[in-house]
Structure 1
Amino acid sequence: MPMLNVNGTELHYEDTGGAGEPILFSHGLLWSTRLFDPQVDALRGRYRCVAYDHRGQGRSAVPSVNAIDMETLYLDALDLISKLGLGPCHFVGLSMGGFIGMRIAARRPELLRSLTLVETSADPEPLANVPRYTLLNLIARLAGLRPVADPVMRIMFGRTFLSDPNRAEERALWRARLLENRRDIWRAVNGVIRRNAVSHEVPNIRVPTLVIVGEEDVATVPAKAERLHQLIPGSRLARLPRGGHSSTVEEPSLVNAALGSFLESQVRRPPASSQTG
């Protein structure tokens, strides 16, 4: 189990190695590197694929703080890129991973070749969501994830995935992975609920950017992706006809096609720091 001392903590990561351009995958809340298995499987022959677990999630160390804030996770990612020698890399972030990717692209563009934002937003958590998410988080903290598994599954996955009788085994797998979260996951959830907006920073992003969203995402609705697309100059937007907040596993072929095409278009393009104009 590869672990790396990063920014004062221990992060679990997985690295395919290889001589290809590096891609760093940054997952969403409640999940782990497993969220990107379909993308790593599809891309590992051409790229060096690295995926990691955020502090407080997956197999990474858990800090004793009330909320794991996005600025700390941003610094974690910077140190990870440095220590693994990944820069400049392609960054793929889903939801929470996108919060981190936007900060890197806006503040440290020389570290990125491209940015892919999946099911994410530059805004704070909508006020309408905060009471419900806070209650779910309190229940999970006191009693574990099992009592809240059903409502959380409906947040994390779209109706097509949840209702398809042919995907019952996959649903069971992801429900089991959800239940594997330790009770101290509440620290990471607090960080997402209380996050600050970066909408004032993203217009400064100049690295090539792809925004992906599933039409069935209820956690970060497609209108949020449209807003990102409008805020980030020259960005591309891919709206998937299906897929919820975990489209990388719900609709892997659609995500892989959009991501693969975008990455292929960046071949031989110089990193952001060497571009002019």
Structure 2
Amino acid sequence: MSTALIHGKAPVNGTTLAYTQAGPREGRRRPVVFSHPLFFNRTQWYELMARYAELGHPVYTYDHRGQGESARAVREDLSIATLTEDAAAFIEQYRLQGCHFVGASLGGFVALWLAALRPDLVSTVTAIGSSAEEEYKRADYEPLVDHLTAHGPTQVVDPILNIMFSDWTLENNHSLTTTWRAVINCLDQSIGDASHGVITRPRIVEKLHNCAVPVLAIGGDDDHAYPGDISGENIANAVGRHGRHVRIEHAGHSAALEQCEAVARHLDEQFAFTDGV
């Protein structure tokens, strides 16, 4: 990838977020902000960042507090509400108001909360493999969160990979799964606190009603975490006339990594609603 990446640390909302920027700092096209899932980090977006930087968008991605290279945080400070406040503060600090905000899984929760609570900051929102509802598998995931809190990812990397990727990817894209296996293996017990924030999140469905921000929900056709109704139809229906949903083949919970080109085509359409290109 030839696109230059600029890395930095942003002091926002009482924490410090590690971030990466590409493309012009100001451009004729709207900024794009990417927000990563639980267990992963901002590096997952570098391919899409290069695409949109080359098209003239100022592009940013960041690690959530308590994850990646951002500052650590206690469990009480890792709610979706707090992570949304972080995202809002980041957008305001770097004057990215009117951005296209794209989030996957945990990042998608943040995207939907921004659409509902801070529509002044975003032009469009895309939630990939995400949900506007409370965690419907909370009872199933609580033992995993307890294990992560006590031991880190030791002995549970395979179950995590099964959550994050489709059967097709697990069988056919060993390069991708090997890369992220290594990332997950390096996580420590603090990922348990971040995971707790994910599975205890409240629903945002009612606050999305009559949302004026165009919202795109992208789901994988083999998402082991959220089936198509949760990651697609339910979000679009909650938003109403500004909501729509699409399904990606041969993709699971991490469609932006598993089928990057297909996701990019849908993002192009989403961005065109306000960019006029």
Unaligned runs of 5+ in 2: 1-6
SS at match of 1:5: strand
Indicate whether 1:177 and 2:183 are aligned: yes
Q: CA deviation at 1:265?
A: 3.5
Separation in 1, partners of 2:171, 2:99:
37
Aligned position for 1:236: 244
1:50-69 matches, cutoff 5 A: 50-66=60-76, 68-69=78-79
Separation in 2, partners of 1:78, 1:261:
24
Find 1:266's aligned residue among 246, 251, 274.
274
Q: CA deviation at 1:35?
A: 2.3
Equivalent position amino acid for 1:231 in 2: A
Separation in 2, partners of 1:195, 1:133:
13
Separation in 1, partners of 2:44, 2:184:
11
Q: CA deviation at 1:137?
A: 1.8
Find 1:101's aligned residue among 94, 111, 121.
111
Aligned position for 1:272: none
Greater RCO, CA 8 A, separation 6+: 1
Separation in 2, partners of 1:190, 1:140:
10
SS at match of 1:44: helix
Whether contact under 8 Å (2:152, 2:190) holds in the other structure is no
Separation in 2, partners of 1:219, 1:118:
12
Count of aligned pairs between the two proteins = 265
SS at match of 2:236: helix
Separation in 1, partners of 2:225, 2:98:
31
Whether contact under 8 Å (1:66, 1:190) holds in the other structure is no
Return 27-36 or 74-83, whichever deviates more. Answer: 27-36
Q: CA deviation at 1:95?
A: 1.2
Equivalent position amino acid for 2:189 in 1: R
Find 1:36's aligned residue among 42, 45, 50.
45
Aligned position for 2:3: none
Aligned position for 2:220: 214
Separation in 1, partners of 2:261, 2:104:
16
Separation in 1, partners of 2:229, 2:194:
25
1:69-88 matches, cutoff 5 A: 69-88=79-98
Equivalent position amino acid for 1:78 in 2: A
TM-score, normalised to structure 2, is: 0.91
Aligned position for 2:132: 122
Separation in 2, partners of 1:117, 1:37:
18
Equivalent position amino acid for 1:76 in 2: D
Separation in 1, partners of 2:269, 2:234:
22
Q: Deviations over 1:110-131 (max 9, x none)?
A: 21111111111110001xx223
SS at match of 1:210: strand
Residue identity over aligned pairs, in percent, reads 31
Q: CA deviation at 1:228?
A: 0.8
Q: CA deviation at 1:232?
A: 1.2
SS at match of 2:68: coil
Q: CA deviation at 1:246?
A: 0.5
SS at match of 1:204: coil
Indicate whether 1:142 and 2:157 are aligned: no
SS at match of 2:269: helix
Return 211-220 or 103-112, whichever deviates more. Answer: 103-112
SS at match of 2:265: helix
Find 2:195's aligned residue among 166, 178, 189.
189
Whether contact under 8 Å (1:217, 1:243) holds in the other structure is yes
RMSD: 1.5
Separation in 2, partners of 1:228, 1:188:
23
Whether contact under 8 Å (1:16, 1:50) holds in the other structure is yes
Separation in 2, partners of 1:170, 1:63:
29
Whether contact under 8 Å (2:75, 2:194) holds in the other structure is no
Q: CA deviation at 1:200?
A: 0.8
Indicate whether 1:203 and 2:209 are aligned: yes
Whether contact under 8 Å (1:106, 1:204) holds in the other structure is no
Whether contact under 8 Å (2:152, 2:191) holds in the other structure is no
Aligned position for 2:170: 162
Equivalent position amino acid for 1:137 in 2: V
Q: CA deviation at 1:97?
A: 1.2
SS at match of 1:122: coil
